[in-house]
């Protein structure tokens, strides 16, 4: 019976606006949470998969001890794919030539992720995806020249003689920091034993590569973690690339702005629910007088809310999932082998958001409605939109709960919430002040304007809540619009169009001229030449450094770097470097060195310290004259140590440079490799392309959020105007009765809305500018600049948006013939 | 003749309401007894406290002082929900401004109390009652599509659907023109008579009051002819 009544009322109420507004608001909230968290998750896993490609696996377990079959057994038990590899440095012999090389021995299943490209020739360039066979080795291009070998020749490694089969074109897990270092060789794992290189005490890195689903991997990791011995450790996937940082920022930004959209939508839901309740107050009183208990009323109206919630939840989840699918499709387009996975997390996050919004924003007015006393039937209750203090409180609580849910940080959410509360209070007082000021202004105005001002004054004061939500809505739209522009700009700056995508390493002095000529012939622009000399840091202030990187630190000796460094000398500070203490070299500087800040901290190096380097057996020393911060995210050669030009000038140096190569010019790389076989080409084109694809994904996501925020903002406006509809109808009727003409009423209405919109727009502008100030300073480390466009865009947007939406909803009211309006109002 | 059974009994009722500066007593020392099946009018000028008294007698509100019994139910002692239960089972209402639910059709408005009371054949009863008030053809109309008089007839049908023991009518014809009002009043008395309902009618209309068996006259929250147990002349 009760169900019948509830259902009937619900069905009939659908054609009135409020339930739709509540439903649409919740739908927006759910849809945006589901899609946003899902999309960031997808982009994140795309990024992970990309770095997996650079590790040739999803997870890597490193060990300094021989392979442990137990590990393999357990991995296979978890249905993981496994590959084993060994890496060691060893001498290669060919005739009278010999060369130290870094040898990597891999099995048949290598690589598990990414692509290995080998070429059965001595020239690097475009290669084929083939795998190593026992008895064969593949060389890095420059080794052919260093050893004076051809494809098909034999090379001696330990006790074995192996056939040189070709050149390594692309090795997925080659270290990216290969600016220098020993040339690389790839061989088959089965051949290692015969070389007899593996002896007790020889330094060999053993690696297990694993690949599988995220679930299998984490299960395996959980299982393995406690069993690892001192010689084994998990290798962290390197996420500190140019994209890593940008994406992290993007994710936080996405969720935060998504949250703001949700808050807006929730406000709309709250307003609509309030109005729904008000409109039903009399009905509830009647039903109660006819004998319904408060509980029954709660069931009826709770049922309404439940239906709306369920409907929006389902639609929101479906829409969100569709958006996720679309995004994953897009990612797949860029990252061919992207494996998308279904996740429950966006769904429960969306559902939780929906419940919080529904319970704390919309349920309260419904609850209050059920409390209406039956006695109200005998009173002539006039509709009043009054601010419910408890509703404000629960709403505020909901906003904070959502902030906490999304940021995952308690303190951050509290801080953010207090900031918002402060803004609200500020807006309230400004609104109050304006109301005071509006009165004397109104005195000298034409009557339409006077009416508009009077209306505005009354409503502003009675309902400064309305002004706040209008301002908030416009503020968020503006903020997001400008932040989006800023964020995208920043990313584009990081990888500008035509940024160098090919790095040339190991260029000898005489090759510079050849390279320049080659570049000129093919219209390539080479960048700066960085001279490189390899050397070890041996002491700081005459204290010897540990030369071996060991686990147990010997306390009496200073920590060292444990490997050779690329040393360079430069007169000019590179663009992506920033001196944090000391001063950069000047013309008179001699025997000085500038140290990168992180390594300075790690090695406890201070300004004025004396560093001694060993280069090819020779010693030299330099005084630390500056500490530099380096942007490691930039795709530029970066150095820990930069010496003043006088120090290294006498040492034989090789050079690094870079240029931009258009995709269709790719075959030039083959020519270049033939021209200068000893030069290593490192292509970052892949990385750049992937970064760009991710940036474009995130940009789409951002635009999507902007759209959501705009919708939510419009929804708030609609809900607010709807809420005053009845009151306005009454006023219009009275004014008509008093003889006001149609044009007069219309002008007054338009004026009222444009004033309100302009005011809200102005508030929003001030808020947005202050927020941008904070964000630029805090998040982006950018100098603050005023956004001039904002100052006209904000108020104009406010006027246009509020007036249009207000007019669209009220023009119906204006069209109703006066007589009808009057009768309708008198009857109710 | 059997001795009349007391249906409603109020003793020393008073009602105070909170206002900005303290409290205001809007009903003073009201005592009355109404027998089952009787029709009683409460008359008085606007603002004299008639509706307030009605709300106490019907259990819509509780008195600040005094006792009120509806049958054997001590309304002054019962919770809101208990009183709601009693209203659902025993009380019918007709209001000055009709108070139909705007989103329900005429028939649905009529059946609403029956459905709340869990009566099975609500729909059949509702249709029959609509027939009785002459609105069978308007069953699927919404209140906004009905004239004032039609709306009040629907409200009367709604009041009688649960076959209440007592009917409270608060100025049932005040919002209607004389002719329509007359028709509505006729209908009210007719159904009242058929069902043997106790009727308490609040009005400021002397003619209407005269159609009741007894009258109480109110002024400023008090009965002015306190002990009039017979027909009083209301001018
Ligand atoms: N809740 C209330 N607060 C203040 N005054 C009230 C309240 N309810 C009723 N009154 C006042 O009590 C008096 C009696 O009201 P009411 O019973 O509605 O009169 P009637 O129905 O006879 O016109 C009126 O003056 C009215 O203003
Ligand atoms: Mg009254």
- Residue-averaged pLDDT of chain A: 79
**B48 C-beta neighbours (distance < 10 Å), count:** 21
Q: Which residues of A touch B103 (CB under 8 A)?
A: 9, 12-13, 16, 283
Partner-chain contact B116 A1, CB within 8 Å: yes
Query: Per-residue pLDDT averaged across A527-542, rounded?
Result: 85
Query: Per-residue pLDDT averaged across A455-459, rounded?
Result: 66
Residues 6 or more apart whose CB falls under 8 angstroms from that of B214 comprise B38, B39, B40, B41, B228, B229, B230, B231, B232
pLDDT given for residue B129 in this prediction: 92
Asked if A773 and A486 touch (Cβ cutoff 8 Å), the reply is: no
Residue A181 and residue A510: Cα distance in Å, rounded?
20
> Which residue of A283, A290, A373 is in closest CB contact with B88?
A290
pLDDT given for residue B64 in this prediction: 94
Q: Which residues of B touch A282 (CB under 8 A)?
A: 99
Range of the domain at B124: 37-61+79-228
For an interface test with B, which of A279, A288, A289, A828 has the most B Cβ atoms less than 10 Å from its Cβ?
A: A289
pLDDT given for residue B230 in this prediction: 43
Total residues found in chain A within this entry = 828
pLDDT given for residue A440 in this prediction: 62
- With 0-12 / 13-18 / 19 or more C-beta atoms within 10 angstroms meaning exposed / middle / buried, residue A39 is buried
pLDDT given for residue B234 in this prediction: 41
Residues 6 or more apart whose CB falls under 8 angstroms from that of A545 comprise A537, A538, A539, A557, A558, A559, A560, A561, A603
Asked if B80 has any chain A CB less than 8 Å from its own CB, the reply is yes
**Among A459-463, A536-540, B162-166, B214-218, where is mean pLDDT lowest?**
A459-463
In a domain, B28, yes or no: no
CATH number for the domain that contains residue B45: 3.40.50.300
**Nearest protein CA to atom 12 of ligand 1, as residue:** B26
Residues with CB under 6 A from ligand 1: B 17, 19, 24, 26, 44, 46-52
> Which residue of A2, A4, A291 is in closest CB contact with B113?
A291
pLDDT averaged per 10 residues in sequence order, chain B, 235 residues: 82 91 90 93 91 92 94 92 90 90 91 88 92 92 90 93 92 87 89 90 89 92 66 41
Top mean pLDDT of A95-99, A800-804, B210-214 is at B210-214
Q: Is the dihedral of CA A614, A616, A618, A624 positive or negative?
A: negative
- State in Å: Cα A383 to ligand 2 middle: 19
Question: What percentage of chain A reaches a pLDDT higher than 90?
Answer: 7
> Which residue of B61, B112, B118 is in closest CB contact with A290?
B112
Tell me the whole-structure pTM to 2 decimals.
0.70
What are φ and ψ of residue A216, in 5° steps?
Answer: -55, -40
Query: Per-residue pLDDT averaged across A630-634, rounded?
Result: 69
Task: Tell me the H-state helices in A130-239.
Answer: 141-147, 192-195, 214-224
- How many residue pairs bridge chain A and chain B with CB atoms within 8 Å of each other? 88
pLDDT tens digits for range A489-503: 766 666 667 777 888
Nearest in space to A497 (alpha carbons), one of A688, A700, A684: A688
Residue A641 clears pLDDT 80, i.e. is over it = yes
CA distance B158 to chain A (A): 9
Burial A693-732 (b: 16+ CB within 10 A, else e): bbbebbbebbebbbebbbbbbbbbbbbbbbbbbbbbbbbb
Residue A578 clears pLDDT 50, i.e. is over it = yes
pLDDT given for residue A456 in this prediction: 65
Q: Which residues of A touch B112 (CB under 8 A)?
A: 5, 287, 290
DSSP string, B55-117: HHHTTSS--SEEEEEETTEEGGGS-HHHHHHHHHHHEEEE-TT----TTS-HHHHHHHHHHHT
pLDDT tens digits for range A64-93: 788 787 888 888 888 889 999 998 888 888
**Nearest protein CA to atom 27 of ligand 1, as residue:** B47
Q: How confident is the model at residue A693 (pLDDT cuts 50, 70, 90)?
A: low
Asked if B147 and B175 touch (Cβ cutoff 8 Å), the reply is: no
Domain count, chain B: 1
In a domain, B6, yes or no: no
Residue A824 clears pLDDT 50, i.e. is over it = yes
Top mean pLDDT of A120-129, A424-433, A547-556, A650-659 is at A650-659
Query: Per-residue pLDDT averaged across A174-185, rounded?
Result: 63
> Which residue of A290, A294, A375 is in closest CB contact with B116?
A290
Residue B205 and residue B170: Cα distance in Å, rounded?
11
DSSP code at position A617: T
pLDDT given for residue A442 in this prediction: 56
**Among A216-220, A458-462, A502-506, where is mean pLDDT lowest?**
A458-462
pLDDT given for residue A124 in this prediction: 62
Partner-chain contact A12 B55, CB within 8 Å: no
CA distance B56 to chain A (A): 9
pLDDT tens digits for range A321-370: 998 888 888 777 766 667 777 888 889 889 998 888 888 888 888 888 88
pLDDT given for residue B94 in this prediction: 92
Question: Tokens representing A779?
Answer: 């998040």
**Among A110-124, A200-214, A236-250, A775-789, where is mean pLDDT lowest?**
A236-250
- State in Å: Cα B24 to ligand 1 middle: 10
Residues 6 or more apart whose CB falls under 8 angstroms from that of A440 comprise none
In a domain, B24, yes or no: no
pLDDT given for residue B227 in this prediction: 46
Residue A195 and residue A105: Cα distance in Å, rounded?
12
Which A-chain residues 238-297 have CB contacts (< 8 A) with chain B? Answer: 282-283, 286-296
**A644 C-beta neighbours (distance < 10 Å), count:** 24
Domain ranges of chain A: 2-48+243-494+691-827, 61-211, 526-659
């Amino acid at each position: 019976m009760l169900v019948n009544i509830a259902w009937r009322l619900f069905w009939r109420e659908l054609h009135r606006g409020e339930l739709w507004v509540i439903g649409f608001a919740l739908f927006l909230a759910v849809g945006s949470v589901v899609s946003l968290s899902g999309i960031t998750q997808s982009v994140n896993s795309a990024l992970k998969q990309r770095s997996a490609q650079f590790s040739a696996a999803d997870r890597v377990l490193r060990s300094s001890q021989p392979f442990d079959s137990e590990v393999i057994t357990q991995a296979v038990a978890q249905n993981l794919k496994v590959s084993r590899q060994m890496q060691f440095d060893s001498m290669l012999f060919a005739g009278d030539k010999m060369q130290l090389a870094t040898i990597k021995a891999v099995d048949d299943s290598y690589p598990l992720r990414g692509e290995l490209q080998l070429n059965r020739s001595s020239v690097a360039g475009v290669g084929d995806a083939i795998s190593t066979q026992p008895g064969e080795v593949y060389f890095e291009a420059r080794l052919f020249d260093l050893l004076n070998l051809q494809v098909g020749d034999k090379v001696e490694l330990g006790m074995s003689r192996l056939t040189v089969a070709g050149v390594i074109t692309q090795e997925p897990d080659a270290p990216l920091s290969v600016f220098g270092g020993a040339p690389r060789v790839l061989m088959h794992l089965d051949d290692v034993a015969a070389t007899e290189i593996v002896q007790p005490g020889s330094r060999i890195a053993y690696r297990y590569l694993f690949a599988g689903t995220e679930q299998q991997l984490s299960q395996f990791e959980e299982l393995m973690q406690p069993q690892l011995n001192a010689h084994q450790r998990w290798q962290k996937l390197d996420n500190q690339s140019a994209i890593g940082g940008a994406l992290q920022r993007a994710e936080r930004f996405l969720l935060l702005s998504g949250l703001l959209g949700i808050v807006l939508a929730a406000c709309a839901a709250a307003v609509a629910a309030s109005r729904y309740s008000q409109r039903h107050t009399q009905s509830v009183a009647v039903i109660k007088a006819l004998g319904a208990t408060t509980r029954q009323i709660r069931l009826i109206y709770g049922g309404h809310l439940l239906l709306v919630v369920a409907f929006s939840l389902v639609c929101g989840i479906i829409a969100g999932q569709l958006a996720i699918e679309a995004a994953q499709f897009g990612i797949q387009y860029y990252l061919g082998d992207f494996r998308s996975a279904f996740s429950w997390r966006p769904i429960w996050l969306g559902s939780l958001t929906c419940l919080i919004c529904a319970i704390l924003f919309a349920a309260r007015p419904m609850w209050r409605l059920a409390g209406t006393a039956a006695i109200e039937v005998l009173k002539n209750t006039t509709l009043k939109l009054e601010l419910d203090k408890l509703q404000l409180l629960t709403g505020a609580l909901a906003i904070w709960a959502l902030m906490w849910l999304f940021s995952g940080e308690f303190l951050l959410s509290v801080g953010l919430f207090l900031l918002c509360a402060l803004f609200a209070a500020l807006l309230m007082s400004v609104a109050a002040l304006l109301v005071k000021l509006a009165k004397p202004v109104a005195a000298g105005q034409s009557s339409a304007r006077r009416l508009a001002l009077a209306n505005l004054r009354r409503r502003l004061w009675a309902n400064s809540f309305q002004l706040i939500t209008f301002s908030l809505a416009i503020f968020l739209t503006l903020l997001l619009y400008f932040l989006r522009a800023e964020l995208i700009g920043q990313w584009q700056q990081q990888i500008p169009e035509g940024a160098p995508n090919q790095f040339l390493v190991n260029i000898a002095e005489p090759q510079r001229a050849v390279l320049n000529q080659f570049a000129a012939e093919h219209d390539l622009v080479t960048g700066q030449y960085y001279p490189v000399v390899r050397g070890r840091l041996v002491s700081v202030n005459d204290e010897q450094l540990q030369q071996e990187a060991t686990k147990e630190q010997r306390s009496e000796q200073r920590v060292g770097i444990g490997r050779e460094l690329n040393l360079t000398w430069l007169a000019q500070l590179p663009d992506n470097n920033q001196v944090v203490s000391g001063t950069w070299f000047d013309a008179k500087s001699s025997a000085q060195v500038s140290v990168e800040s992180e390594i300075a901290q790690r090695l406890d190096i201070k300004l004025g310290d004396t560093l001694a380097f060993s280069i090819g057996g020779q010693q030299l020393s330099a005084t630390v004259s500056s500490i530099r911060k380096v942007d490691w995210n930039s795709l530029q050669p970066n150095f820990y140590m930069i010496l003043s030009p006088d120090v290294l000038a006498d040492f034989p140096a090789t050079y690094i440079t870079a240029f931009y190569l258009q995709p269709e010019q790719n075959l030039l790389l083959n020519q270049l490799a033939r021209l200068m076989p000893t030069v290593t080409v490192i292509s970052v084109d892949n990385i750049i392309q992937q970064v760009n694809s991710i940036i474009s994904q995130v940009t789409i996501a951002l635009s999507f959020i902007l759209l959501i925020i705009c919708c939510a903002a419009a929804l708030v406006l609609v809900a607010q105007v709807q809420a005053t509809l009845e009151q306005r109808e009454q006023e219009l009727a009275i004014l008509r009765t008093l003889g006001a003409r149609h044009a007069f009423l219309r002008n007054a209405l338009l004026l009222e809305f444009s004033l309100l919109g302009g005011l809200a727009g102005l508030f929003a502008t001030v808020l947005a500018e202050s927020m941008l100030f904070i964000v630029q300073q805090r998040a982006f480390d950018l100098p603050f600049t005023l956004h001039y466009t904002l100052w006209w865009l904000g108020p104009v947007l406010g006027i246009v948006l509020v007036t249009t939406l207000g007019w669209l909803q009220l023009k119906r009211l204006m069209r109703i013939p006066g007589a009808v309006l009057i009768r309708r109002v008198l009857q109710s | 003749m059997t001795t009349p059974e007391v249906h409603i009994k109020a003793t020393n009722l008073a009602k105070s309401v909170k206002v900005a500066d303290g409290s205001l007593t809007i009903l003073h020392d009201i005592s009355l007894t109404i027998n089952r099946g009787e029709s009683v009018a409460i008359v008085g000028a606007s603002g004299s406290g008639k509706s307030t008294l009605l709300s106490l007698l019907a259990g819509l509100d509780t008195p600040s002082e005094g006792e009120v019994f509806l049958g054997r139910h001590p309304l002054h002692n019962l919770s809101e929900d208990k009183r709601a239960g009693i209203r659902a089972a025993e009380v019918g209402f007709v209001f000055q401004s009709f108070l139909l639910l705007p989103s329900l059709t005429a028939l649905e408005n009529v059946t609403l109390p029956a459905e709340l009371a869990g009566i099975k054949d609500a729909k059949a009863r509702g249709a029959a009652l609509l027939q009785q008030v002459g609105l069978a053809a308007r069953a699927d109309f919404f209140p906004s599509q009905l004239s004032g008089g039609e709306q009040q007839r629907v409200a009367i049908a709604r009041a009688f659907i649960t076959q209440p023991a007592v009917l409270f009518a608060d100025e049932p014809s005040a919002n209607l023109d004389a002719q329509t009002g007359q028709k509505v009043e006729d209908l009210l008395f007719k159904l009242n008579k058929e069902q043997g309902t106790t009727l308490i009618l609040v009005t400021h209309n002397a003619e209407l009051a005269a159609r009741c068996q007894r009258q109480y006259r109110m002024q400023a929250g008090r009965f002015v002819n306190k002990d009039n147990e017979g027909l009083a002349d209301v001018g």
